[in-house]
Amino acid sequence: MRFFAPPADLAPCFSTIYRLEVDLPEGEVLKDSLQPEWCNLRFFSENPPSAEIPDGPRISGARFQATGPSSCPTHFTLGRTRMWGAGLFPLGWARFVGVDASEHTNTAVDGEKSPLFSRFAPLCDTLCSRDYSDEAQFAHLIDFFRQLADPPRDSRRIQKIHEVMVDPRLLQVDDFARRCGLSKRTLERACARHFGFSPRLLLRRQRLMRSLAAFMLEPRASWSEVIDRHYHDQSHFVHEFHAFMRCTPSEYAAQPHPVLSAFMAERKRIWGSPAQTLELP
């Protein structure tokens, strides 16, 4: 995998831009699950994966797959392929998608057929091909987004909410609103529109992802060693884990994670943060 740093004018919009190559024997596949994340756009040069959200849609064979902000896993089956991925921060969602994020959470779609994401489909001609170098594909992606839309008017508010939200010391919605300089009602509306979820659920998701990322980076550790300090006790953590990941911590630990384990470790090494949701805006 290769990570590409977006230029300064677009950096606040993207969590990560990367190119991933999966080399497997013909016909062999890997199974894994994406964790809760922000919106992601993924472009495959061949052999696109199947992806399924619990109690939600399933897509297969789409060379451009898009997911909205999520609070649950996305299960996928992946064979030999080459992929470009672009993760959109909430500011990127506001700038390039521009609709109410709360109406598009926990969804996976064929981007070329989706009225919401088809505006990004022209990227397929370059990113879903092996005929270009990494550098040429990245340059095309940057040029495309630069011309797509101007920053939204409430960019500063979105950035401030995001900055406060990822602080691991933050516990209460009242403090969340106070530190953002907003009323609780205004914070609720802004979070729903640009982040997809309520302030309370966002803080719960952050707490879960801090624990999950710590576990993924230390596979020999027990859950009790990595549980976020803000959980009341073990049972509280297990309940919250199941609410987001749709399985128990022990069930998750027993499953293989060949893609996510490698990706998170490399993302941490290169990019400084193992998961999109934990990254500072």
Instruction: Give yes or no: residues 160 and 252 share one domain.
Output: yes
Q: Look at residue 45 and tell me whether its pLDDT is greater than 90.
A: yes
Residues 7 and 143 in one domain: yes
Edge-to-edge strands of the sheet including 50-52? 30-34, 74-78, 50-52, 58-60
- Structure confidence at residue 271 (pLDDT): 85
Verify that 174 and 79 share a domain, yes or no: no
Same domain flag for 95 and 166: no
92 with 163, same domain: the answer is no
Per-residue pLDDT tens over the stretch 181-240: 999 999 999 999 999 999 999 999 999 999 999 999 986 778 888 898 889 889 999 999
Whether residue 204 sits in one domain with residue 92? no
Domain end among 100, 116, 148: 148
CA distance 139 to 146: 11
Q: Using the 3D structure, point to which of 102, 125, 148 is the last residue of a domain.
A: 148
Name the DSSP letter for residue 195: I
In 3D space, the residue among 209, 13, 191, 176 whose CA is nearest the CA of residue 102 turns out to be: 191
Q: How confident is the model at residue 21 (pLDDT cuts 50, 70, 90)?
A: very high
What is the domain-level CATH number for residue 253?
Answer: 1.10.10.60
Tell me: do 12 and 135 sit in the same domain: yes
Do residues 95 and 224 share a domain? no
- The number of distinct structural domains making up the chain is 2
Residue ending a domain, choose from 148, 180, 208: 148
Measured in degrees and rounded to the nearest 5, phi and psi for residue 17 equal: -125, 125
Highest-pLDDT range among 22-31, 189-198, 268-277 = 189-198
User: 73: closest CA among 257, 255, 245?
Assistant: 245
Token pair in block for residue 172:
């209460």
Q: How far apart are the first and last CA of the chain?
A: 22
Give residue-wise pLDDT tens across range 151-169. 999 999 999 999 999 999 9
Same domain for 171 and 81, yes or no, is no
What is the average per-residue pLDDT within 112-127? 97
Residue with tokens 């022990």: 250
Tell me the torsion sign for CA atoms 13, 230, 196, 120. Answer: positive
Q: Are residues 118 and 50 in the same domain?
A: yes
Give the CATH number for residue 126. Answer: 2.60.120
Per the structure, the complete domain to which residue 191 belongs is given by 155-278
The answer to whether 89 and 13 have CB atoms below 8 angstroms apart is: yes
Question: Is 144 in the same domain as 159?
Answer: no
What is this structure's pTM?
0.95
The pair phi, psi for residue 60, each rounded to 5°, is -155, 140
Task: List pLDDT tens digits, range 77-100.
Answer: 999 999 999 999 999 999 999 999
Do 91 and 225 lie in one domain? The reply is no
